[in-house]
Structure 1
């Protein structure tokens, strides 16, 4: 199974929330130089943020040992940050999940290495009633090719998925067929499918109930990519990425309407 790269930022620009992943060697909780550099970048943030630190392992050891190792990794990150944080930054949660929340299937070392990590979530502290409302992107199939520009973002407003799965509901079939037609009629266009979820704040991404991995935003985007490839679109023209809950249209989410807006797949024009 393909894996998803988490966001690793040395110089942070945080609007509502972002995340940095700290990776570890097998059976180790020791921070390397690259990890310390990432944590130093977090400690230098100037605005008011709260931090959540979650530890993970691959499946090499037994459940008990992996749980303890994930907690040691959380402690290593937490202790390093606590010695450097200013008053505007506060750690509000620390938790180890052992090997229970993989973002990959542990089938090969390259994938296992991405599960040996600590995720540091960085969330803006909002004032009461403060809210981010981003403009909803236009529909891909309702926008003429002439109006599309490279780096433009478009929405698939009728493509919705079964909860916890990368299977879309029947109402999305017509729109996806139109996406396919657009790509077939315009063979120079290359796109990126970007998956997003809502409201799962103990994970970067949601759980794919079929795969038992925590990369639902990616698997949903990739399901659309696989549909397009099976219909004859060249794989080099379509990229799939997952962004978890880190790029919401609405934040904080308060209502079902907010949740619905953030559960989405967007299309970004890469080449035209």
Structure 2
């Protein structure tokens, strides 16, 4: 059985070419129009996105996610150099002055001293003086001081009273001027002791805080020693005290402020690093 198929209408070759050109022109025109439309649409969308605040800085390469604000580095308060965690923990939180006396080694009578302050707790401690030469006891240092052991007690102790043979050099400390501070005789190296107590600051080891340096009360008992002072240097070892050059004693007395709860931190280098 045959199926009827009508014959296709034929056009001359030039008509076909003309139609082909027209179609191509229309296609190109349509493409050009589409491109302009797309560009315009993209510009409108970009403008709207910018107005909405979405097109700002990107975080982690994710479009539209704002970068985090810069974080300021955390500041750690400065610590006193060469002090270990155990000794640091013994310094009262409300103390803002610390005289650090560092002995050369356990059995040495030679040491140095620096006064530190922390007026701004957020910034921590800073040195308020140069490093001063100092002496300590003839036999060095001890963690357990006893009468006549000729050693200086290691530790952190309050400074609450001062005195001396001479008039106070403009100090804010309670100051007991008395002829009882006169001293004579010779030290362990044959040096004169005269003038050693022209200026003194009492160290609150086995004594009543705030009392005159001349006070004889010994809360721990007399066998545990006492009368530990910071006083003017006589050029040799002490019996248990700390000694500084007399001009440094005057400077120390001018700088110490009872309102800042001053302390002395003292010991040989190894002990202070604990």
**TM-score, normalized by the shorter chain, greater than 0.5:** no
Task: Sort the TM-score into its range (normalised by shorter chain).
Answer: under 0.3
Q: Give the structure-1-normalised TM-score.
A: 0.19
Q: Give the structure-2-normalised TM-score.
A: 0.19
Larger helix percent:
1
